[in-house]
Amino acid sequence: MRHTLTLIKILLLAGWLTSPSTAQPIHQRSLGQLEERLANIDSERSQLAYLTLRSGVGSLGWQSQLHSEADHTEWARIDFSQPQTIEQVTLVPILWRNTQTGIQADGFPTRFQVVAGDSEESTGTVLASFDDPSELLPRTAPLVIPLPPTTAKWIRVEASELSPRALDGKFLFQLSEILAFSGEDNVALHQSVTVSSSEKRRVQRSIPAKTLVDGVTPYLINSPQLPGSTAYVAFYHTGPQASLTLDLKKSVPINRIHLHAADLSENIPQVHHSDYGIPKHLIIEGSTRPDFADPIPLVEYERDTIYDGGPTLAWRFPETNCRYIRITAIDGYKAPEAQERWRCIGFAEIEVFSGGANVALGTPVHLNLQPPSQEGSLASLTDGRNHFGTILPVREWMEQLARRHDLERERPLVEAERDKRYARQKTMLRIMSWIAAALAVAIVISMLLNRIFHLRRTAQLKERFAADLHDELGADLHTIGLLSDLAQSSRDDPQKLDTYLQQIRSATEETGTAVRHLADMQSATPYPNLETTMKQIANRVVVHLQHELSIQGEDQFDQLPAGARSDLILFYKECLINICRHSEATKLRTTLAAKGRTIHLAISDNGQGITDNDSTQVPKSLQRRAKLLGGKVTVETSAITGTTIHLKLRQRRFGIR
């Protein structure tokens, strides 16, 4: 018994922390788990007792003295008539109707502990402690505290930090009921109670310490197990005493009796008292014989004030063997709607307990007189149901109310997290929609750009085709024409004539080959040897001129793409044709060099130079071909030194590093 358990350990011992998924923090659960948890909460809630509040007049519960600060110690102690094995303590709060926030617990402590002792003199051992107000308040339901089975002579609920009273903000400790369960038996029922202090009020009789263990709570037993039943009420004239007798069929040891009031009016305002039908003064006797020749007094109840009643009256007494139970109305209930000479006796249910089980369930009930008026049937007194449905055992009822409270606190948190996830998904969906729209626009733009690039490529192909047609065929036709002129002038020299005719034949074949490959200059690898090709072209085009050719870095020229190599040769051809046609030169020098990252082609002649007004103007045919190469062409010209054409290309443009 010498050990202290925290709340978490207690819950683990009791099995209240159900599964890892339940204990997992809400923000760590997936959306599917949140949805599943909400469905489980709703499913479980539908099977739990409803928190239905009683109305009418009744005892409030115990209140301690008022304090101006929270840090005060107040306590309530229950002494048992004999040592009891305690498994659970339940604290029922006093409720307050707040016009803004609704009904909430009032004066429930924010820090307290449950202490138990096994002798009158012992200081006791702390069985459970609570110091986190967020786990306790706000609440309307009872607080169920599972405990390791502990044998105790007394228990004490000791508050060290109080909460403010809603009425005036003063701090106090107040409770409606303290229940201590050993199995299904509330062993605290009608036991001796000692408190640290009591508040002095004009309604003093509604808050004595003994109300902590009178078995009356602010709730009505409202089970989801339908249907309910109609209570039995018998009206009779004053004079004879009405009594109800139950036959338990066999003698059994009983130790507890519960009487449930007959009428729980749900009208607003309520037209009946909460203890409707319960006689003002009654006695309960047991016997082993049907004639009660050996009556055993079990309970005597007398309602002195309006605070002594309630919707359920419960009594616990020493275990007694009985077969028959008789409830006698010494002074019957005076219904407000009945005349003075009328009295009544009636209940929604009569429960008789043996070993925690209701042994009166389904037993026959007999009324000793023939009432002039009655409602319901005698069988409804032991059918196990009240107005709402099946009557639950007190311990199970308290646990279900506490469990409903926990679920109803958890549900909005889970729902809020789920809604946040949905909002996040909605945002992500909106972003994805924007991305999809942007992608659609990008696709349209890409298609338009592709179309533009296609048109541009087509234009480039047309331009290249025109340039190739002009440069390739023009050079070949010029060569043929030149050779034809030379052949005509050599008619008297058969050997030269034959040479020129052969050259014309060769040029014609090359022109045919050029025409066949004009549509696609990349279909083969033209001009495999750049130096040889350039010499051949010079020999054909400038056949009557002295010409020199110098190539530096020939290894790098082998890396040029086929298209670039063709364009370079055609540029060279066009330069030679222009020199033949316009320069009147006698000498020609060509230099092709690859230095660093640059290719430099220089073609010089000793002709008359460019005689146009703008001597730096590059011929359009050369500009077009240089553009196709992606290079820069310039001209140096002079009437004295002749003309030099420079073409500069960057090797990086062709992928050469």
pLDDT score at 117: 94
Kind and range of the H or E run holding 75: strand 74-92
How far is it, in rounded angstroms, from Cα 330 to Cα 221?
28
| Cα dist from 40 to 20, 37, 413, 414, 598, whole Å | 14, 5, 14, 11, 78
User: Tens digit of pLDDT for each residue in 505-549?
Assistant: 777 766 766 665 554 444 445 667 778 888 888 877 777 788 888
Could you tell me the two tokens for 46? 């539908």
CB 325 within 8 A of CB 246: yes
Amino acid type, 493: D
**In the predicted structure, residue 127 carries a pLDDT above the cut 60:** yes
CB 601 within 8 A of CB 592: yes
Kind and range of the H or E run holding 531: helix 530-541
First to last CA, the chain: 88
How far is it, in rounded angstroms, from Cα 300 to Cα 646?
130
Give the CA angle between residues 24, 26, 28 to the nearest 5°: 70
Among 205, 122, 209, 116, which Cα is nearest to 156's? 116
Residue 19: pLDDT band (50, 70, 90) is very low
pTM beyond 0.85, yes or no: no
Domains in the chain: ranges and CATH: 55-219 (2.60.120.260), 223-391 (2.60.120.260), 526-657 (3.30.565.10)
Amino acid type, 177: E
How far is it, in rounded angstroms, from Cα 209 to Cα 503?
135
Work out the mean pLDDT of the chain and round it to a whole number. 86
601: β partners: 592, 647
User: Tens digit of pLDDT for each residue in 467-494?
Assistant: 666 666 666 677 777 777 777 777 777 7
pLDDT score at 59: 86
Amino acid type, 196: S
Comparing 282 with 134, which gets the higher pLDDT?
A: 282
CB 282 within 8 A of CB 347: no
How far is it, in rounded angstroms, from Cα 62 to Cα 65?
10
User: Tens digit of pLDDT for each residue in 595-608?
Assistant: 878 889 999 998 88
